[in-house]
Amino acid sequence: MAITNSTQIRLPTHIKPEHYDVFIKPDLKDFVFSGTVSILVDVTQTSEEICLHSLELEVTDVTLAAVSGEALPAPASMTSSPDFDFLHLRWAAPLPAGKYLLGMKFAGKLTDQMAGLYRSEYKSASGEKRYLAVTQFEATDARRAFPCWDEPSFKATFSVTVDVPADLVALSNMPVTGEKPSSTDGRKVVAFDRSPRMSTYLLALFVGEAEYVEDVTRAGVPVRVYTPIGLKDQGLFGLQVARDALDFFAEFFSTPYPLPKLDLIAVPDFAAGAMENWGLVTFREIYLLCHEQRTSARARQELAYVVCHELAHMWFGNLVTMDWWTHLWLNEGFATYVGWLAVDKLFPEWDIWTQFMFTEQGEAMSMDALQSSHPVEVPVTTTAQINQIFDPISYSKGATLIRMLATHMGPQEFQTGLSHYIKKFTYQNTETNDLWEAMSTAVSGLDLTSMMNDWIRITGYPVVTVTPGEAGALTVQQDLYLASGAASGCASLWTIPLLTTSLNAPGPLQQPQLYAKGPVLAEKTQPLTGTAAPPMKLNRDGIGFYRVNYHPTLVAGLISAIAENPTTAFAHGDLVNLVKDFFALAASGHSSIKHFLDLLQALRGASVGFAWEAIAATLGALRSLWFEQSPEVVGHLNRFAAGLFGPHSEAAIWDTGVSTAAKDHIANCLRSTFVANACRAGHEWTVAEAQRRFSSLVNATPEAAANSNPEVQAAILETGVRLGGLPEWEQTLAFFQREQVPDLKVRALFALGQSVDPVAMDKNFELIFSGSVRLQDVFHLMRSLSYNPVTRRRTWDFVRNNWAKFYEMFSPSGFLLGRIVSNSCESLSTLKDAEEVKSFFDGIDKKQYATIDSNVKLAVEEITNNAKCIERIAGDLNAWLAAQ
């Protein structure tokens, strides 16, 4: 096949597929696959060629026939444009407009790189090595499995047939319509029903061993959760969540689930967390398998959220799909928001929206405070660019802005607008303005397009500075917030909702005000009118995507009120908001680190729910910054942290098994936070207790381990390895290798990376390329090694010295390589580090750099900001700690 150059990034739109008949025969012994595809195409104008996508496939026997029955000669030429994965088919004469059947054979390799149609290795109950085949097509990898129009706007219907070993399960998006023996002995041919119109990235296939548990929704839709053989009981919780979430979304969107079945399946090797393939949703095992006694409350909650997120896509993304990846946030931002919404409806006692603030919103605000960030709606053209926007901006910032919009529209108006959007664009593709126009029909007096487009199309977010005047008057001013410090010359203005709250106000906002009735900052500076009584707090429940910088006198009033009555002064969500803002503003030089530390001191010993998670995250970040700074200051910080978390750790329950009772969920989540942070800070009693329990945990039988509280096991493993030697590391490695509960397996892997024993540290780096840690899980070990202050620099050196191998292993799986790059270096803290990281990546191959350029720029800026932050806050930090 010849290679040609092309400057056309997108496929031509005058030829569109309408239906695919796809036949695939995977070979799980020789790791290859072959197949045929017949595509009904509509040629809307005379065409010189047919151009579609194909990547790493051998394409042969191309045929073309008019639907009327006239067969055309074979194409005169078949060439490729490798930069764009294009396959060009040209005939001797131009093709007249009309409908044609395009047929071809194809063959490819069944790799282990978690992209396209790939193989995944697992072991049977007897320990025998076996393989399964599964697909991951988003964003641009359907073209690795069969030639196709691999862009989201080219929706078509699909009929899939597979030839597979007779003893294996075959699944696809639609139900099985027929099964018969194959012409090859020991195999069978399985045919699936025709799908609705959908994008290629949503097509899915699974071939392997599996068993299932099943239920049915109120509407009669059968729901199955498929698991590895012997683990189907671990699928029961995910099944319950999936069934209830499907019912919730059908009612919330006022649109029934459009497919005749829903399957969810756990896959041993999977690059993403999960994938919303229509009717066949694929998951990492940790996000679908849940042991009734041994899975932690945090992991159980994460599983529930991931299931809800993926099922939200059945409507937002699958039924209505973004036109191009520039509008990815329409898929992911909405699925993130309504995923959290569904969890809140299914488990209202979990206090989900307080957690949203220090997870989704916190992650988005951290990234979007960097000049290397990007708008929510960002133009992308290449596969490398597309893969890099599956990030906290598209997901978490998008979700936070939608939450802000939903609050100010009102819940009923918001739901009505979404329902209208879904119904209007069913089976179609949309852009952002289509959403605003549909939502505007549900509420009058709001110009949603002008209000929201600034938030969507401008990089970054504002900081609102509050200044007191005479007679209690307040003035507010908006400026661009940057983690690097005060921004200058920024002319951007946002329309900012300023919901306020005051001392002893009721809890989270139950009935949101209409946007037009709340105070709004739409100018650079303006007086704040109609505010609550002092001490007043802006951004009630942290709903707005901005930070608030209070004048020192206002800060003093807030902290004084909290210190006087920390449990009731403000709602937990408002406390999370204050903790996160005070720390970020101190790090960027907008305020003093003393304000942050005074706030934490005021909350000492208080029962403030998930506000403790925000305290743990921010104080942990501060301690991490000081990993190479004054040991005296590190000691002071550790003692301060031990004083905060230690008493809670001592009061925690260590011995009982996990309680899934509704009232215990928050306590279970916080138990792990208190114990882990007390151990890391060196709290004497907690460390001794963790070390005492280490041996019995790592050597326990599964039955005995089920009686141990899973909330404290991560801290026990981590502390045992960190303060032990090579024997403790080896015991934890054995625990990791035999463990079948995914949550515990990941925790054990992270614990291994915390060793400071010289031999064990060497073995950790050997593990990365050993093959004994799955590619999808290497990230967890790398993250631990970067978190460990003793191995942090060595981790970056290891990536730099083994870059070619990392690229070879992880580049096909898209974002995994970028995550490894980020985690290997972003916690370094000198300007020299920033220069070295930039210099190294500037020197690699340009094609390689294109796959991770966004990650590199963000990491270099993070390192630079770390260095400046240390210099900025060191004096006040030292003075405050010394005075305690």
> From the annotation, which residues make up the binding site for Zn(2+)?
309, 313, 332
Order across the sheet with 274-275: list the strands. 211-216, 222-227, 262-267, 280-284, 274-275
Q: DSSP states of 576-616 as a string?
A: HHHHHHHHHHHHTTSS-HHHHHHHHHHTTT---TTHHHHHH
Contact, 48 vs 7, CB < 8 A? no
Label the pairing between strands 2-3 and 77-81: parallel
Query: At CA 734, angle to CA 730 and CA 737, rounded to 5?
Result: 135
Burial (0-12, 13-18, 19+ Cβ within 10 Å), 447? exposed
- Cα-based distances in Å from 500 to 93, 532, 535, 540, 818: 70, 6, 11, 5, 39
Residue 304: strand pairing partners: none
Residue 404: strand pairing partners: none
Element (H, E) at 307: helix 297-312
Element (H, E) at 672: helix 665-680
Tally of CA atoms within 13 A in the half-sphere of 730 that contains its CB: 4
Q: Which residue do the tokens 């005379």 mark?
A: 46
Distance CA 159, CA 341 (A): 34
Q: DSSP states of 411-448 as a string?
A: HHHHHHHHHHHHHHTTT-EE-HHHHHHHHHTT-SS--H
Radius of gyration for the alpha carbons in the chain, expressed in angstroms and rounded: 28
What is residue 756's three-state secondary structure? coil
Element (H, E) at 33: strand 32-43
- Which of 316, 249, 306 minimizes the C-alpha distance to 278? 316
Kindly give the residue spans of alpha helices, DSSP state H, lying in 769-814.
775-787, 792-801, 803-810
Contact, 393 vs 364, CB < 8 A? yes
Cα-Cα-Cα-Cα dihedral sign, residues 362, 367, 368, 370: positive
- For residue 693 the two structure tokens come to 């329990």
Distance CA 22, CA 173 (A): 13
Label the pairing between strands 474-480 and 525-528: antiparallel
Distance CA 619, CA 612 (A): 10
Name the DSSP class of 129.
E
- For residue 249 the two structure tokens come to 């979304």
Contact, 135 vs 201, CB < 8 A? no
Order across the sheet with 98-109: list the strands. 58-66, 98-109, 32-43, 15-27, 157-165, 187-192, 176-181
Query: At CA 27, angle to CA 21 and CA 29, rounded to 5?
Result: 175
Q: Of residues 138, 310, 377, 862, which has the active-site annotation? A: 310
Report how far apart the first and last C-alpha atoms of the chain are (Å, whole number).
74
650: annotated active-site residue: no
Query: At CA 356, angle to CA 352 and CA 360, rounded to 5?
Result: 150
Residue 283: strand pairing partners: 266, 274
Distance CA 289, CA 280 (A): 16
Contact, 594 vs 880, CB < 8 A? yes
Residue 464: strand pairing partners: 478, 548
Q: What are the residue numbers of the active site?
A: 310
